[in-house]
Chains A and B, each alone.
Chain A
């Protein structure tokens, strides 16, 4: 192993959080190196408009995603099962390379509700302590919505998010989401243009007494220059967002919003195709000394640094902490330890409406975040008394794409192939609209992450083991909100509505969502989390952790907006508190 000259900051992973951290700290004058497992990727070269809209290459063959041969997880539904490795990523698709999952996302950019941040105490206060299900380990966040608001705002400005505010400084705004937390400012750009589906949904939801509003979109509606001087172009509604890199500079991503400015900084360096294998610590384990990584030729390097920022995808951050023996592994049986605890996912389901042939939805004119929403059954926006569950889901009516290979909706009962299937495809395409839900996922004592006792990766390190299933509380919640989606689909005029409830057990095969949260959660005390309210590790003060692994449980929203806000919240603490007194804990344990 070769030891390299010491840097001020070493960053593990160059996705959203890594690139933002790198840019801000390099601007602050620090010498920063980011170490990224995958390849360098930029819009001009890798997401060229001449080749980017290739459904077979990207959506079917998963070109820009992590290969299980590089790293995978073992999965099981409960403690009594033996976990087996995921040999083809399905339920979720981790990104690979510069930009990370920030390249292939749809761009839904949410703020969690103020009550999401004090979830446990909020529910207990409103409904009494019996409303929390047995063995449900949800907890309050150690940071409030009010504290995060300026950082949500700045992240939205970096991304150029298109939307309509529903609450500006406490004043409810027509056309926006009346349930959202207060905002200091309007969205940076106006909402995308609705397609027919969104117009019909808005009308139907309003008639049903709900409060529709446009989905806050990272596919932006107009030309925009962000606070870093990086320019974006208006979305062309090409319908190649999720699983694709945007060729049009329209989808917020590290490539579109941060890297062009970051790459001009001479005190920043990116090392790609280099996988960090360990965070190194002093012999007493009280300080990080840097990282060890392996380059593309298999050579091992030690990169010492004053400050280590863990910025990989949620589950990989958690695994790297485990492999580095930093923190105490959570054990569900003895209910001890914190690392790996409170893993959560997302509870998604919905209804599909089949419409007459004269209703043309033109799904091909879509965008990842082209949608109308209703939050009437999300969070605690509705009375949970007697419903038997906590949590909720957003209701969405999106037109993401009409791509030729996989967008082939057919009515239930249609044969899977042959002449009848072909006819049904031709008859149905363009006349179908789903109304979906994206539901919260609570934390439970026996849902967690640890290292697998059997299976190892190509470097001989144990794989991460994921123990997860959909629990009764979340299934009940989902069922309740899916019933609302069916009402909306009928009110939109569907001839036939197919209602698809979420069912257990969780399967790794069909794609569900790449919203894996928790495992290294932020907490008020070292007893119930891995990092403090500033995302600083409780045991190792010069180690900060980013990403959705910080969430104590997951809300009824996509995580990226909150991941971005937490990154700027942490940066504020690093720049204005930590660096003035480096090596010290910002919160006394």
Chain B
């Protein structure tokens, strides 16, 4: 009944706005604010940020294994943005991945997650987007090479990889768990990075949140696995990480720095706790912890010497780090991921962690690729992955070589 009323109301609104000229009613302050929060949770800005750095006028190129996809302008500009869209159009895009003219959107736009959002929530985001300044910014939407430029192909992709449908709470679980599940699986679309992709770029079935490769990084396992996931993280630690970007064992950098900066650092304590509850309770996914390499192994000895010279000043001889500044490497899940891309990227190219209102210092890791050979990087990574209680597969010089090629020219973010 409730739902019917709201639907009717929004349909009416959609009709009124159908002409595509009016901005959102300035009196719907509450809905716009709710939409602003949801747009923050969804980190729309992360992809849609415009050339002005402030609006969501799009234009960024998203790297995918199939080619680069230019991110559209979602400001209410009639010509180049979504000014002519109705709330229903917006819901269809979010819910089934289709533009108003019926063409298929690419799943780089995570409708596979947004489909779980309620109509009330997509309407609120719509109201918020309508309330923004229209920015004219023409984005070339046909950047993918053949055959991926054939959008109709997404019909088949969807058939194989996509089940539309709103989130269904689990009545056996707590309210916090269900809220967390909604946020993680719906607007937060965490799985887009943290779930491995199958060969079509769809979610690998059964491996949800087990970690995934992207843009020369590895979005780590955030299942409740104790060895490589967040199973050993307390609720407070997860909340601190998402809110401030920094904990004793981790500092958000790379793509996650953007997520913390634009999104999670602005989320409410209640929602962050809900996310922590869900992630901690939803189950573990990961391989059994391997035996660590023996310290006497030649690679370990070489790595230990490099560590002492190059890493120990900040990360400390016993891998204990400096809380909030230099991540602890002992019992650090990030460095023990099955896929070592993250640790290799950081050693080779360096990285600056995120600054948030709660942690204004954004310490950086220097690039060391210019003075360590592939073998040296492999050895020190192997040493870190197998010391102080850590255990993970050794890294080979070939892995370093390909990571070096993949990240070449990807310098640290420019000074700000």
Contacts and interface: CB of A to CB of B under 8 A. Distances in A.
Contact of A40 (B363, B367, B415): B415
Contacts of B152: none
A121 interface: no
A392 to B, nearest CB: 38
A44 B412 contact: yes
Main secondary structure of the interface of B (DSSP, over half): loop
B313 A223 contact: no
A264 B368 CA distance: 29
B267 interface: no
Contacts of A228: 360
A230 B313 contact: no
Contacts of A232: 325, 361
Given A45-B412, A49-B366, A231-B361, A236 B313 contact: yes
Given A233-B325, A248-B313, A50 B368 contact: yes
B322 interface: yes
B358 A231 contact: no
Given A42-B415, A238-B313, A248-B314, A231 B368 contact: no
B3 interface: no
B357 interface: yes
A49 B314 contact: yes
B362 A44 contact: yes
B380 to A, nearest CB: 14
B325 A231 contact: yes
Contacts of B415: 40, 42, 44-45
B360 A48 contact: no
A372 to B, nearest CB: 24
B326 A233 contact: yes
A367 to B, nearest CB: 12
Interface string B348-360: 0010100101111
Contacts of B355: 260, 264
B314 A236 contact: yes
Contacts of A43: 363-364
Contact of A264 (B352, B357, B364): B357
A169 to B, nearest CB: 32
Contacts of B358: 229
Contacts of B314: 49, 233, 236, 248
A225 B359 CA distance: 9
B371 interface: yes
B323 interface: yes
A223 B325 contact: yes
B187 interface: no
Contacts of A248: 313-314
A45 to B, nearest CB: 5
A234 interface: yes
Contacts of B211: none
B229 interface: no
A261 B360 contact: yes
A249 interface: yes
A282 interface: no
B364 A48 contact: yes
Given A43-B364, A233-B363, A260-B362, A223 B412 contact: no
Contacts of A247: 366
B325 A50 contact: no
B271 to A, nearest CB: 23
B362 A233 contact: no
Contacts of B416: 263
B220 interface: no
A223 B316 CA distance: 13
B366 A249 contact: no
Interface in A215-253: 223, 225, 228-234, 236, 238, 247-249
A335 interface: no
B288 to A, nearest CB: 35
Contacts of A51: 366
A209 B352 CA distance: 51
Contacts of B324: 223, 225, 231
Contact of B352 (A44, A50, A238): A44
A224 B83 CA distance: 50
Contacts of A229: 358-360
Contacts of A234: 322
Contacts of A233: 314, 322, 325-326, 363
A50 B411 CA distance: 14
A50 to B, nearest CB: 4
Nearest to A49: B366
A44 B354 CA distance: 12
Contacts of A236: 313-314
A264 B323 CA distance: 22
B366 A48 contact: yes
Contacts of B360: 228-231, 260-261, 264
Interface in B297-332: 313-314, 322-326
A49 B368 CA distance: 10
B318 to A, nearest CB: 14
A193 to B, nearest CB: 15
A49 B313 contact: yes
A249 B361 contact: yes
A38 to B, nearest CB: 14
A323 B324 CA distance: 47
A489 to B, nearest CB: 31
A248 B325 CA distance: 10
A223 B361 contact: no
A223 B323 CA distance: 8
A40 B359 CA distance: 21
Contact of B359 (A231, A249, A263): A231
A44 B359 contact: no
A236 B323 CA distance: 15
Interface string A475-488: 00000000000000
Nearest to B312: A236
Interface core residue of B350, B352, B364, B368 (most chain A CB under 10 Å): B364
A249 B362 contact: no
Contacts of A249: 325, 361, 363
Nearest to A51: B366
Interface in A151-202: none
A258 to B, nearest CB: 10
14 contacts: A44-B352, A44-B363, A45-B415, A48-B367, A49-B314, A50-B350, A50-B370, A50-B371, A223-B322, A223-B324, A225-B324, A231-B325, A248-B313, A264-B357
Which 8 residue pairs spanning A and B have beta carbons closest together? A44-B364, A50-B366, A231-B361, A236-B313, A260-B360, A233-B325, A48-B366, A233-B322
Given A48-B366, A51-B366, A231-B324, 5 more contacts: A44-B363, A49-B314, A223-B323, A228-B360, A264-B357
